[in-house]
Homo-oligomer: A and B are copies of this chain.
């Protein structure tokens, strides 16, 4: 019988936390006991889980006593302060923020790609990668295993839910303003804490997260650095341009790759057809290709529009879509714990 776990969910009322709760129920996750934690501001609120009511408790170091697994998605500063405290008290932490991702002692895990690193968790903390990165590496791993991989150039089309519930609400409010011919107000995107805000309804914003000193955004650098870490390929050439689009949920990616050897489109079809967590959706005669409206609420990573580069037999173009709140966040976190259970690591 599967071990039953005591679980703490930190940040249950956010976009990822909500998806986390739905998927814990949907997947029959082996829960002995569950508690919901948040900042003092949200503590005391009632929350529904699996048809039962729970009161959200204030997250303190002592909250994690006797917790087996702590799922964090309450922002980087909360994880920075409390994830080590949870780990110190024996909980395995799966952290959805970027805070620990590049820490050499913190495994950064997409189970389909590198579940073997779960054997060694020096700090008791596992990082869940960036949403755009997860769906891309899940699709690239089976291709890389068979044909090698030397270069990745990705342009993203990222949904607003990646910026949280406030961004979803803003897209909806702006759409109503736009329809009514009113001034469109922007307060959340591209980055709430940055200086300027731009409408996302009827617009495309080429900024996700703040800018770093090298001209790339943090989101772009996450895709570059996390891809190399998860795939354990420091030598892999990765370039990213990250862009926000007026879609609620479901990130799309236009990905150019160069393989280590020549291949055909059929070769890639064959590899992806049987790959874990991947749905090949590539039937252009019937106009079948991945789109956010198909991916929203679905678990898999959808891959299509596979074309060989016309100038390079090792070059291929892919179109990759997945629900950024599910495989990109909540689902991948849960799968990390499930992988540990399967591998008797918990």
Contact = CB atoms under 8 A, between A and B. Distances in A.
Interface of A: 151, 153, 155, 157, 172, 175-176, 178-179, 190, 194-196, 198-199, 202-207, 211, 214-216, 224, 237-239, 241, 243, 245-248, 250, 252, 254, 256, 265, 284-287, 289-293, 304-312, 315, 317, 319, 321
A158 to B, nearest CB: 10
Copies of this subunit = 2
Interface centre among A195, A248, A254, A308 (most CB of B within 10 A): A254
A239 B319 CA distance: 14
A196 B293 contact: no
B247 A204 contact: yes
A12 to B, nearest CB: 26
Contacts of A238: 311
Contact of A206 (B199, B290, B315): B290
A242 B228 CA distance: 27
B256 A239 contact: yes
Given A155-B155, A175-B175, A179-B179, A293 B245 contact: no
A112 B224 CA distance: 35
A287 B194 CA distance: 9
Contacts of A215: 265, 284, 305-308
Contacts of A286: 195-196
| Nearest 3 CB-CB pairings of A with B | A155-B254, A155-B155, A237-B311
Nearest to A287: B196
12 contacts: A153-B153, A179-B179, A190-B287, A196-B287, A202-B247, A206-B305, A215-B306, A215-B308, A239-B317, A241-B305, A241-B317, A246-B246
A250 B175 CA distance: 18
Contact of A256 (B153, B306, B308, B309): B153
Contact of A204 (B207, B214, B252, B256): B252
A198 B295 CA distance: 14
Given A175-B179, A215-B307, A287-B194, A204 B254 contact: no
Contacts of A246: 202, 245-247
Interface centre among A175, A292, A306, A321 (most CB of B within 10 A): A175
Contacts of A310: 214, 216, 224, 239
